[in-house]
Structure 1
Amino acid sequence: MLSDRVGSRVRPLRWVSVTACGVMLLLAAFDAAHWGPAAAALLVIATTVSVADNGLAFTSVAEAAGPRWAGRALGTQNTGQFVAAAAVGPVVGGLIGLLGYPLAFAAVALAPAIATPIIPGRADEHDRL
Protein backbone atom coordinates (compact mmCIF):
# COMPACT_ATOMS: atom_id res chain seq x y z
CA MET A 1 0.00 0.00 0.00
CA LEU A 2 1.25 3.50 -0.83
CA SER A 3 0.73 4.76 2.71
CA ASP A 4 3.02 2.02 4.02
CA ARG A 5 5.71 2.99 1.52
CA VAL A 6 5.62 6.70 2.41
CA GLY A 7 5.17 6.00 6.14
CA SER A 8 2.03 8.10 6.48
CA ARG A 9 -1.71 7.77 6.08
CA VAL A 10 -2.43 11.50 6.06
CA ARG A 11 0.07 12.50 3.38
CA PRO A 12 -1.64 10.35 0.71
CA LEU A 13 -5.01 11.64 1.96
CA ARG A 14 -3.78 15.16 1.28
CA TRP A 15 -2.54 14.12 -2.17
CA VAL A 16 -5.95 12.67 -3.03
CA SER A 17 -7.69 15.82 -1.80
CA VAL A 18 -5.50 18.15 -3.84
CA THR A 19 -5.82 15.89 -6.89
CA ALA A 20 -9.62 15.77 -6.56
CA CYS A 21 -9.79 19.56 -6.45
CA GLY A 22 -7.56 19.90 -9.50
CA VAL A 23 -9.39 17.24 -11.50
CA MET A 24 -12.78 18.82 -10.81
CA LEU A 25 -11.52 22.27 -11.84
CA LEU A 26 -10.03 20.83 -15.03
CA LEU A 27 -13.28 18.99 -15.69
CA ALA A 28 -15.19 22.24 -15.30
CA ALA A 29 -12.81 24.04 -17.68
CA PHE A 30 -12.84 21.28 -20.30
CA ASP A 31 -16.63 21.03 -20.18
CA ALA A 32 -16.99 24.82 -20.50
CA ALA A 33 -14.65 24.71 -23.52
CA HIS A 34 -16.80 21.91 -25.04
CA TRP A 35 -13.86 19.50 -25.15
CA GLY A 36 -16.09 16.47 -24.88
CA PRO A 37 -13.57 13.60 -25.15
CA ALA A 38 -11.13 15.25 -22.71
CA ALA A 39 -13.98 16.04 -20.31
CA ALA A 40 -15.18 12.44 -20.52
CA ALA A 41 -11.69 11.15 -19.72
CA LEU A 42 -11.46 13.54 -16.76
CA LEU A 43 -14.87 12.39 -15.52
CA VAL A 44 -13.54 8.82 -15.39
CA ILE A 45 -10.46 10.05 -13.51
CA ALA A 46 -12.65 12.08 -11.14
CA THR A 47 -14.77 9.05 -10.28
CA THR A 48 -11.61 7.09 -9.49
CA VAL A 49 -10.05 9.87 -7.41
CA SER A 50 -13.27 10.40 -5.48
CA VAL A 51 -13.02 6.92 -3.95
CA ALA A 52 -9.23 6.61 -3.78
CA ASP A 53 -9.05 7.67 -0.16
CA ASN A 54 -11.80 5.46 1.31
CA GLY A 55 -9.54 2.76 2.74
CA LEU A 56 -6.95 5.30 3.83
CA ALA A 57 -9.48 7.42 5.69
CA PHE A 58 -11.02 4.37 7.34
CA THR A 59 -7.64 3.09 8.53
CA SER A 60 -6.44 6.52 9.60
CA VAL A 61 -9.55 7.14 11.71
CA ALA A 62 -9.18 3.80 13.48
CA GLU A 63 -5.48 4.36 14.13
CA ALA A 64 -5.98 7.90 15.41
CA ALA A 65 -8.82 6.84 17.71
CA GLY A 66 -6.91 3.97 19.25
CA PRO A 67 -8.29 0.58 20.25
CA ARG A 68 -10.74 1.87 22.89
CA TRP A 69 -12.41 4.47 20.64
CA ALA A 70 -11.97 2.96 17.16
CA GLY A 71 -15.52 1.58 16.94
CA ARG A 72 -17.12 4.87 17.94
CA ALA A 73 -14.85 6.84 15.63
CA LEU A 74 -15.53 4.55 12.68
CA GLY A 75 -19.27 4.67 13.34
CA THR A 76 -19.19 8.46 13.40
CA GLN A 77 -17.09 8.59 10.23
CA ASN A 78 -19.33 6.15 8.37
CA THR A 79 -22.49 7.98 9.42
CA GLY A 80 -21.04 11.29 8.20
CA GLN A 81 -19.89 9.69 4.98
CA PHE A 82 -23.31 8.13 4.28
CA VAL A 83 -25.15 11.38 5.04
CA ALA A 84 -22.82 13.29 2.72
CA ALA A 85 -23.15 10.63 0.01
CA ALA A 86 -26.95 10.76 0.24
CA ALA A 87 -26.86 14.54 -0.23
CA VAL A 88 -24.49 14.56 -3.20
CA GLY A 89 -26.99 13.39 -5.84
CA PRO A 90 -29.75 15.89 -5.14
CA VAL A 91 -27.39 18.78 -4.34
CA VAL A 92 -25.17 18.35 -7.39
CA GLY A 93 -28.22 17.67 -9.55
CA GLY A 94 -29.72 20.94 -8.32
CA LEU A 95 -26.46 22.77 -9.02
CA ILE A 96 -26.39 21.36 -12.54
CA GLY A 97 -29.97 22.51 -13.09
CA LEU A 98 -29.25 26.00 -11.75
CA LEU A 99 -25.71 26.63 -12.97
CA GLY A 100 -24.96 24.05 -15.66
CA TYR A 101 -22.32 21.34 -15.62
CA PRO A 102 -19.12 23.46 -15.70
CA LEU A 103 -20.06 25.61 -12.70
CA ALA A 104 -21.44 22.60 -10.82
CA PHE A 105 -18.13 20.78 -11.35
CA ALA A 106 -16.26 23.85 -10.13
CA ALA A 107 -18.52 24.02 -7.07
CA VAL A 108 -17.78 20.35 -6.32
CA ALA A 109 -14.06 21.26 -6.28
CA LEU A 110 -14.78 23.38 -3.19
CA ALA A 111 -15.24 20.28 -0.99
CA PRO A 112 -11.67 18.98 -1.36
CA ALA A 113 -10.34 22.55 -1.35
CA ILE A 114 -11.95 23.08 2.05
CA ALA A 115 -10.91 19.63 3.29
CA THR A 116 -7.22 19.84 2.38
CA PRO A 117 -6.10 22.31 5.07
CA ILE A 118 -8.02 20.49 7.81
CA ILE A 119 -6.48 17.08 7.11
CA PRO A 120 -4.28 16.39 10.14
CA GLY A 121 -0.59 16.99 9.63
CA ARG A 122 2.16 14.42 10.03
CA ALA A 123 2.81 15.69 13.57
CA ASP A 124 -0.77 14.72 14.52
CA GLU A 125 -0.49 11.23 13.03
CA HIS A 126 0.13 8.24 15.21
CA ASP A 127 3.27 6.28 14.38
CA ARG A 128 1.63 2.94 13.80
CA LEU A 129 2.80 2.14 10.29
Structure 2
Amino acid sequence: RVTAMARSVARSLIDAPDFLRLGLMLAMERRPAEPRGRTVFLQVRDTARAKIAEMAQELVPALDEKSVHALTTYAVAGADGLFVQREISGDDVDLVAMFELHAQLVYEAATRLAARSGT
Protein backbone atom coordinates (compact mmCIF):
# COMPACT_ATOMS: atom_id res chain seq x y z
CA ARG A 1 0.00 0.00 0.00
CA VAL A 2 2.79 2.42 0.89
CA THR A 3 4.81 1.59 -2.21
CA ALA A 4 1.69 1.84 -4.39
CA MET A 5 1.08 5.35 -3.09
CA ALA A 6 4.73 6.26 -3.66
CA ARG A 7 4.64 4.82 -7.17
CA SER A 8 1.55 6.87 -7.98
CA VAL A 9 3.10 10.09 -6.67
CA ALA A 10 6.32 9.49 -8.62
CA ARG A 11 4.43 8.88 -11.85
CA SER A 12 2.42 12.05 -11.31
CA LEU A 13 5.63 14.02 -10.85
CA ILE A 14 7.13 12.53 -14.00
CA ASP A 15 4.00 13.34 -15.99
CA ALA A 16 3.58 16.88 -14.63
CA PRO A 17 6.71 18.13 -12.87
CA ASP A 18 5.92 21.83 -13.22
CA PHE A 19 3.63 22.03 -10.19
CA LEU A 20 6.32 20.83 -7.79
CA ARG A 21 9.15 22.56 -9.63
CA LEU A 22 7.44 25.95 -9.54
CA GLY A 23 5.87 25.32 -6.15
CA LEU A 24 9.22 24.65 -4.52
CA MET A 25 10.64 27.84 -5.98
CA LEU A 26 7.66 29.85 -4.74
CA ALA A 27 7.76 28.19 -1.33
CA MET A 28 11.35 29.23 -0.80
CA GLU A 29 10.74 32.87 -1.69
CA ARG A 30 10.23 35.32 1.12
CA ARG A 31 8.11 38.29 0.08
CA PRO A 32 6.11 40.75 2.15
CA ALA A 33 2.98 39.74 0.22
CA GLU A 34 2.70 36.07 -0.68
CA PRO A 35 1.82 35.24 -4.28
CA ARG A 36 -1.40 33.26 -4.65
CA GLY A 37 0.51 30.38 -6.24
CA ARG A 38 2.65 29.97 -3.13
CA THR A 39 -0.42 29.83 -0.92
CA VAL A 40 -2.05 27.19 -3.11
CA PHE A 41 1.15 25.14 -3.23
CA LEU A 42 1.50 25.21 0.55
CA GLN A 43 -2.15 24.17 0.97
CA VAL A 44 -1.67 21.20 -1.35
CA ARG A 45 1.51 20.33 0.52
CA ASP A 46 -0.31 20.45 3.87
CA THR A 47 -2.94 18.09 2.47
CA ALA A 48 -0.21 15.69 1.33
CA ARG A 49 1.45 15.85 4.75
CA ALA A 50 -1.88 15.08 6.41
CA LYS A 51 -2.39 12.03 4.16
CA ILE A 52 1.10 10.77 4.92
CA ALA A 53 0.52 11.25 8.65
CA GLU A 54 -2.83 9.47 8.44
CA MET A 55 -1.30 6.53 6.61
CA ALA A 56 1.56 6.32 9.09
CA GLN A 57 -0.88 6.22 12.00
CA GLU A 58 -2.99 3.57 10.27
CA LEU A 59 -0.06 1.32 9.41
CA VAL A 60 1.85 1.82 12.66
CA PRO A 61 -0.71 2.72 15.34
CA ALA A 62 1.92 2.72 18.10
CA LEU A 63 3.52 5.89 16.71
CA ASP A 64 3.23 8.87 19.02
CA GLU A 65 2.40 12.34 17.70
CA LYS A 66 6.00 13.55 17.83
CA SER A 67 7.17 10.55 15.80
CA VAL A 68 4.39 11.01 13.24
CA HIS A 69 5.42 14.64 12.79
CA ALA A 70 9.11 13.76 12.43
CA LEU A 71 8.35 10.93 10.03
CA THR A 72 6.06 13.08 7.90
CA THR A 73 8.64 15.85 7.71
CA TYR A 74 11.31 13.33 6.73
CA ALA A 75 9.07 11.70 4.10
CA VAL A 76 8.19 14.99 2.41
CA ALA A 77 11.76 16.31 2.53
CA GLY A 78 13.08 13.06 1.09
CA ALA A 79 10.53 13.13 -1.71
CA ASP A 80 11.51 16.72 -2.50
CA GLY A 81 15.15 15.70 -2.66
CA LEU A 82 14.45 12.79 -4.98
CA PHE A 83 12.44 15.07 -7.25
CA VAL A 84 15.23 17.67 -7.33
CA GLN A 85 17.79 14.96 -8.12
CA ARG A 86 15.61 13.77 -11.02
CA GLU A 87 15.32 17.32 -12.29
CA ILE A 88 19.11 17.67 -12.20
CA SER A 89 20.04 14.24 -13.56
CA GLY A 90 17.08 13.55 -15.82
CA ASP A 91 16.26 10.00 -16.79
CA ASP A 92 19.38 8.70 -15.04
CA VAL A 93 17.20 8.74 -11.92
CA ASP A 94 14.40 6.16 -11.90
CA LEU A 95 12.00 8.26 -9.86
CA VAL A 96 9.45 5.48 -9.47
CA ALA A 97 12.05 3.07 -8.09
CA MET A 98 13.49 5.77 -5.83
CA PHE A 99 10.05 6.65 -4.44
CA GLU A 100 9.32 2.97 -3.82
CA LEU A 101 12.60 2.63 -1.93
CA HIS A 102 11.91 5.85 -0.03
CA ALA A 103 8.47 4.60 1.00
CA GLN A 104 9.90 1.30 2.23
CA LEU A 105 12.57 3.09 4.25
CA VAL A 106 10.06 5.51 5.75
CA TYR A 107 7.87 2.55 6.76
CA GLU A 108 10.86 0.82 8.35
CA ALA A 109 11.70 4.02 10.21
CA ALA A 110 8.11 4.20 11.44
CA THR A 111 8.24 0.70 12.87
CA ARG A 112 11.55 1.45 14.58
CA LEU A 113 10.23 4.70 16.05
CA ALA A 114 7.16 2.89 17.34
CA ALA A 115 9.27 0.15 18.89
CA ARG A 116 11.49 2.74 20.55
CA SER A 117 8.59 4.68 22.00
CA GLY A 118 7.01 1.47 23.27
CA THR A 119 10.00 0.53 25.39
Name the TM-score, length of structure 2 as normaliser.
0.40
Which has the higher relative contact order, 1 or 2, with Cα contacts under 8 A spaced 6 or more apart? 1
Larger Rg: 1
Name the TM-score, length of structure 1 as normaliser.
0.38
